[in-house]
Chain A
Amino acid sequence: MIRVILPPHLRGLAGVRGEVELEVEGPATQRSVLDALEARYPMLRGTIREHVTQQRRPFLRFFACEEDLSHEPPDAPLPEAVATGAEPLLIIGAIAGG
């Protein structure tokens, strides 16, 4: 089981409160987790990754285990603690000022 924490705007869009829990087949990677997330919540397609390029939208960042994973390859394994559900994958809107 993989845990994902969405930013508030996307929680509202998906109609969820708190964390999202996902079952992911195969290795836990950014791509496999986001594929599972979008399969469960199709309204999130295009909001985290661009529709065509599947690239991370520029003002979003991915964090886990106090590490910035935003620039990791999409098929790189996520940290073991994320894969086992001990730690969540955080999707965060980049904030450039107050």
Chain B
Amino acid sequence: MSKVRVLVGTRKGAFILTSDGKRKQWDVSGPHFAGWEIYHVKGSPADPNRLFASQTSGWFGQIIQRSDDGGKTWIQPGTPPGEPTTGPGGMPKGESNKFVYDTSAQTGKPLTTHQFYDGTQHPWEFKRVWHLEPSLTDPDTVYAGVEDAALFRSTDGGQNWQELSGLRGHGTGPRWQPGAGGMGLHTILLDPSNPQRIYIAISAAGAFRSDDAGKTWRPINRGLHSQYIPEPTAEVGHCVHRIAMHPSRPQVLFMQKHWDVMRSDDAGESWHEVSGNLPTDFGFVIDVHAHEPETIYVVPIKSDGEHYPPDGKLRVYRSRTGGNEWEALTKGLPQSNCYVNVLRDAMAVDSLDKCGVYFGTTGGQVYASADAGDSWAPIVRDLPAVLSVEVQTIP
């Protein structure tokens, strides 16, 4: 019988929740990496027992953890104790927590600067990994979206990381700026039908696409309208919160922007708004049903100044028409005095029949629906603030 494994990153550690296909009884393991912020945990589609975790701390920096047994044990991919930590030339070896931005090949200077909160130009400073996206086909290849925004790739299971610097270097970098949570690259979508195509999104720069496996990039923000920036339809500078895609139709993208829920039917070349009858079109998460490419989910949040559900009611909204027409899903969710947030990486779906939908809150609840959102129940309700939720469906 299939089972599901829910990978939860929180402010104070990681938790792994497992259940059989009925999704009623859950085992909870954790905290793993107790006391550390776990921004994201994600499994390899090519080897479900291989998991990658981003472990981070304002004091001690970034750590990458890897498990090869489904989360029972973890290692930091790198030089084993006792082996030299420098190469033959005396240079320090790359290690799993070493994320170094590329510099200009001509001058050796930083590739670019970005716009700071006060409008001045500011150098890139590595802070943490927000999102890990394992390759669809190779268990040793994994992408990392980092703050300050850049995309890195490892092809040796997370030991060494190289920047895909065509993204920062393509020319619009000086117009990128940090969102309230920092300037993070938070979304990485790999096109299952075209290994050359990668989508990424950055707060607050927008969405970008590569059609040559990450070598060159260009902005794909036409149709986005952001009233809070000086030029509302600018090429870059939009605060994209999340993009989702159904693997069967990788040219169709759904976006939760700072404000507005958007849709593209042409691989991001143009976007149109599908907020429709949502009570508010601010929010962070968006995801797509595993078997119905036109069924999408969002969690409306009151506003950018008030990061909680409107009217104190935690409601997931589902559209079965690819947007515009939305229904509130409330059964099993608190409908009074609820003032939690659902962060951008904190929703996921399993691929069982019926599709399971999961999300975590800043109040420490992880809610699950085993019937595509019709009804909900908490798996756990007292974790640290949830930063990310991923799901693996294991045969």
B59: which A residues are within 8 A, CB to CB?
7, 9, 57, 59-60, 93-94
The distance from the CB of A41 to the nearest CB of chain B, in whole angstroms, is: 6
B62: which A residues are within 8 A, CB to CB?
46
Q: Is B10 an interface residue (CB 8 A)?
A: no
The distance from the CB of A19 to the nearest CB of chain B, in whole angstroms, is: 17
What is the CA–CA distance of A57 and B33 in the complex, to the nearest angstrom? 21
Given A9-B36, A12-B34, A51-B98, are A42 and B92 neighbors across the interface (CB < 8 Å)?
A: no
The residue in chain B whose Cβ has the minimal distance to the Cβ of A50 is B61
B85: which A residues are within 8 A, CB to CB?
38-39, 42, 45
Partner of A42, one of B57, B58, B80, B100: B80
- Decide: B63 and A47 in contact? CB cutoff 8 A: yes
The distance from the CB of B89 to the nearest CB of chain A, in whole angstroms, is: 16
- Decide: B58 and A59 in contact? CB cutoff 8 A: yes
Size category, A interface: 20 to 34
The residue in chain B whose Cβ has the minimal distance to the Cβ of A10 is B60
Partner of B61, one of A8, A38, A39, A46: A46
- Decide: B61 and A9 in contact? CB cutoff 8 A: no
Q: Is B141 an interface residue (CB 8 A)?
A: no
- Decide: B81 and A8 in contact? CB cutoff 8 A: no
- Decide: B78 and A51 in contact? CB cutoff 8 A: no
Pick from B61, B76, B81 the residue with the most CB of A within 10 Å.
B61
- Decide: B100 and A47 in contact? CB cutoff 8 A: no
Q: Is B35 an interface residue (CB 8 A)?
A: yes
The distance from the CB of B19 to the nearest CB of chain A, in whole angstroms, is: 28
B-contact 0/1 string along A62-95, CB 8 Å cutoff: 0000000000000000000000000000000110
Partner of A9, one of B35, B78, B97: B35
A9: which B residues are within 8 A, CB to CB?
35-36, 57, 59-60
What is the CA–CA distance of A2 and B60 in the complex, to the nearest angstrom? 22
What is the CA–CA distance of A33 and B98 in the complex, to the nearest angstrom? 21
B95: which A residues are within 8 A, CB to CB?
42, 45-46, 51
B60: which A residues are within 8 A, CB to CB?
7, 9-10, 13, 47-48, 57, 60, 93
A39: which B residues are within 8 A, CB to CB?
84-85
Q: For window 12-50 of chain A, which residues contact chain B by CB distance below 8 Å?
A: 12-13, 38-43, 45-48, 50
B76: which A residues are within 8 A, CB to CB?
13, 43
Residues of A within 8 A of B (CB): 7-10, 12-13, 38-43, 45-48, 50-52, 57, 59-60, 93-94
Residues of B within 8 A of A (CB): 33-36, 57-63, 76, 78-85, 92, 95, 97-98, 100
A-B contact pairs, 22 of them (CB 8 A): A7-B59, A9-B60, A10-B60, A12-B35, A13-B63, A38-B85, A39-B85, A42-B78, A45-B85, A46-B62, A46-B95, A47-B60, A50-B61, A51-B95, A51-B97, A51-B98, A51-B100, A52-B100, A57-B59, A57-B60, A59-B58, A60-B60
Top-6 shortest CB links A-B: A47-B60, A59-B59, A42-B79, A93-B59, A46-B97, A43-B76
